[in-house]
């Protein structure tokens, strides 16, 4: 059985996905194959551009019919993968060279899941501070929060908590980690979030909205009323992603 499956959800990602996969490959190659094996699985959510062609560094490309939340895409990728540990990385996210080695070390230490924090560099200074605040708050909250740009989980735990909630169109990553956190506490298992390793997502979603709209709609106090509204989040995902 493969040790790690890196699942990359993708919808119209021709401008980003090749760089994401190159970075993943470089990180994987720094760990000897006899120490840990890995596969990269891209889930093409019925893209209308050249995503599939640009994803040629993937070991497997799974095709998923259009429609459905990001949670449904991640779940589909998990089911189509083979690894004992499932790693979810967004298609517009660059990982550092020590990314895979860090996950291997965590797994060897008995960690069953967690996340790697994202470092964003949006164009707006105000949004930069907003992103930094939530990163600071998430690490210190009584109930930790992590982002879906990079989360990982042992397959056994993924199945135990039921994967991602496919009915959520926003904050599905927070919900996922909360359930994983509760499961780990209940069963005495370890979770891990590196303090010295970050991934670097594109800030395109942050840049597409004015600062006031970004802060107003994505803060937990407002977004909680529309978490299951596909229509509300279609511009966040990209038009055409939802039915």
* 23, part of any domain: yes
pLDDT at residue 11, rounded to an integer:
94
* 111, part of any domain: yes
Residue 190 has pLDDT above 70, yes or no: yes
pLDDT at residue 170, rounded to an integer:
75
* 191, part of any domain: yes
* 105, part of any domain: yes
Domain span at residue 100? Answer: 4-237
d(CA 30, CA 97): 8
pLDDT digits (tens, 9 = 90+) for 5-59: 999 999 999 999 999 999 999 999 999 988 999 999 999 999 999 999 999 999 9
Res. 3 pLDDT band, cuts 50 70 90: very high
pLDDT digits (tens, 9 = 90+) for 204-225: 776 677 766 666 666 565 455 5
* 134, part of any domain: yes
Helix axes of 211-218 and 125-140: crossing angle, nearest 10 degrees: 20
pLDDT at residue 77, rounded to an integer:
98
* 242, part of any domain: no
Other Cβ atoms less than 10 A from the Cβ of 136: the count is: 10
d(CA 106, CA 194): 9
pLDDT digits (tens, 9 = 90+) for 116-164: 998 878 777 877 777 777 777 666 676 777 888 999 999 999 999 999 9
pLDDT digits (tens, 9 = 90+) for 67-126: 888 999 999 999 999 999 999 999 999 999 999 999 999 999 999 999 999 887 877 787
pLDDT at residue 124, rounded to an integer:
76
Spell out the residues 6+ positions from residue 56 whose beta carbon is closer than 8 angstroms to its own. Answer: none
- Locus of tokens 């499932």: 86
pLDDT at residue 121, rounded to an integer:
80
User: How many structural domains is the chain composed of?
Assistant: 1
pLDDT at residue 208, rounded to an integer:
73
Question: Shortest CA distance to 86 belongs to which of 180, 174, 154?
Answer: 154
* 243, part of any domain: no
CATH of the domain at 21: 3.90.550.10
* 230, part of any domain: yes
């Amino acid at each position: 059985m493969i040790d790690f499956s890196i699942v990359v959800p993708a919808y119209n990602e021709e401008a980003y996905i090749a760089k994401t996969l190159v970075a993943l490959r470089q990180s994987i190659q720094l760990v000897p194959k006899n120490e840990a094996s890995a596969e990269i699985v891209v889930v093409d959510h019925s893209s209308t551009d050249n995503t599939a062609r640009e994803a040629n560094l993937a070991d497997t490309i799974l095709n998923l019919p259009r429609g459905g939340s990001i949670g449904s895409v991640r779940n589909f990728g998990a089911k189509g993968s083979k690894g004992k540990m499932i790693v979810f990385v967004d298609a517009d996210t660059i990982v550092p060279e020590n990314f895979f080695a860090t996950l291997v070390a965590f797994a060897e230490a008995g960690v069953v899941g967690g996340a790697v924090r994202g470092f964003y560099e949006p164009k707006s200074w105000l949004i930069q501070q907003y992103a930094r605040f939530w990163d600071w708050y998430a690490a210190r909250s009584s109930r930790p929060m992590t982002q879906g740009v990079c989360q990982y989980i042992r397959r056994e735990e993924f199945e135990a908590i039921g994967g991602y909630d496919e009915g959520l169109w926003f904050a599905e990553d927070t919900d996922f980690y909360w359930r994983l956190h509760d499961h780990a506490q209940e069963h005495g298992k370890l979770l891990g979030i590196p303090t010295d390793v970050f991934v670097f997502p594109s800030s395109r979603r942050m840049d597409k909205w004015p600062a006031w709209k970004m802060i107003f709609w994505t803060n937990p106090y407002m977004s909680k009323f529309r978490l299951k509204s596909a229509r509300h989040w279609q511009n966040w995902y990209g038009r055409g992603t939802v039915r």
